[in-house]
Amino acid sequence: MADVEIMQTVQTEVKKTKKVKKTSKRRESEVQISEVEQTNEERGGEYTKAMDKDWHSGHFCCWQCDESLTGQRYVIRDDHPYCIKCYENVFANTCEECNKIIGIDSKDLSYKDKHWHEACFLCFKCHLSLVDKQFGAKADKIYCGNCYDAQFASRCDGCGEVFRAGTKKMEYKTRQWHENCFCCCVCKTAIGTKSFIPREQEIYCAGCYEEKFATRCIKCNKVITSGGVTYKNEPWHRECFTCTHCNITLAGQRFTSRDEKPYCAECFGELFAKRCTSCVKPITGIGGTRFISFEDRHWHHDCFVCASCKTSLVGRGFITDGPDILCPDCAKQKLM
């Protein structure tokens, strides 16, 4: 409501020195209620003193309806006097709740160009008075703090409770938590600003995630953080993937296995491979090495040669001569 002055006229005798004047103020409209003086002159005429001016009694009238304001309360608006009824009809606000005029004797509570009587300023949901209380607005309705939170405030994905005003909020993608609710689902330690790992709608601290989900070495059972190798679909640290016999690392090296255990080429040959009848070295077969077998004897591909002329006998006929093998030509010459 605009700042106005509310006046009331009174009658006073000429030459009386005592003037009656009373004022009262309201917080919302800051209006002033006063009385107008009416004076009898010694000549017998009466006049009205108002707005720091003198008026014939019949001339001080309402700007809207022209009714005399002498002896009546009135309101000054834009330097014009109005009777109470006209002022309220023309200038007073309408209450959002009861749809009635908010008169000059009522408190006018306003919020965003909307106005209420003091008794009508209530929570839309529970009808609690909101005078001098915090409130929230939604879709042209006003609510007390509890009702607003219950209906509209966002909720914590951890505890399901609302975020009260001033509460610190932790957010990740489309989810949000109270600071104390944003914690590891295993150890319940608050994450704060530390690193975390999300998995299937749960939040884990780095330690608990590694303990529960990280890949572990099949040999030492410790977490593989980097540089692991896979053998028979099982994970190993590079330093743990070693020869079963000599413990030399096999990562990046040629190796073979026996009884599901890995061996370096040298150990495998020494322990399990057949030996060449010619050079007595093991025949490992690693790297695609071919070999020839005859009865209970074995040769490297390159060692399978005539004992006399050293011609390769691979793919050719040969004749045994005790521990030796001979090509047909050398065999004939030996018999002659």
Top-confidence residue, 70 or 133: 133
Contacts of 124 (CB under 8 A, 6+ apart): 141, 142, 143, 147
pLDDT confidence of residue 200: 83
Task: Count the neighbouring beta carbons within 10 Å of the beta carbon of residue 196.
Answer: 18
pLDDT higher than threshold 60 for residue 1: no
Where residue 285 falls among pLDDT bands split at 50, 70, 90? low
pLDDT confidence of residue 30: 41
Contact between residue 50 and residue 11 where contact means Cβ atoms under 8 Å apart: no
DSSP 247-296: --B-TTS-EEEETTEEEEHHHHHHHT-EE-TTT--EE--GGG--EEEETT
pLDDT higher than threshold 50 for residue 42: no
Top-confidence residue, 313 or 20: 313
Model-level pTM? 0.37
Look up residue 84 and give its DSSP letter: H
Question: Can you name the residues that pair with 236 across neighbouring β-strands?
Answer: 229
pLDDT confidence of residue 165: 61
pLDDT higher than threshold 50 for residue 28: no
Section 298-303 average pLDDT: 82
Give the chain's end-to-end CA distance (angstroms, integer): 141
Where residue 14 falls among pLDDT bands split at 50, 70, 90? very low
AA letter at 162? V
Section 19-31 average pLDDT: 34
Where residue 166 falls among pLDDT bands split at 50, 70, 90? low
Question: Can you name the residues that pair with 111 across neighbouring β-strands?
Answer: 114
* Number of helices and strands in the chain (H, E): 5, 24
Angle in degrees, CA 257, 262, 263, rounded to 5: 90
Ordered domains of the chain (ranges, CATH): 31-121 (2.10.110.10), 228-270 (2.10.110.10), 286-335 (2.10.110.10)
pLDDT confidence of residue 64: 83
Q: 252's torsion region: left (phi>0), alpha (psi -120 to 50) or beta?
A: left
Top-confidence residue, 289 or 50: 50
Where residue 5 falls among pLDDT bands split at 50, 70, 90? low
* φ and ψ of 145, to 5 deg: -55, -45
* pLDDT tens-digit map of 73-126: 888 888 888 888 888 888 888 898 888 888 887 888 888 888 988 889 889 889
CA distance 248 to 242: 5
Percent of the chain residues topping a pLDDT of 70: 83
Contact between residue 39 and residue 50 where contact means Cβ atoms under 8 Å apart: no
Where residue 231 falls among pLDDT bands split at 50, 70, 90? confident
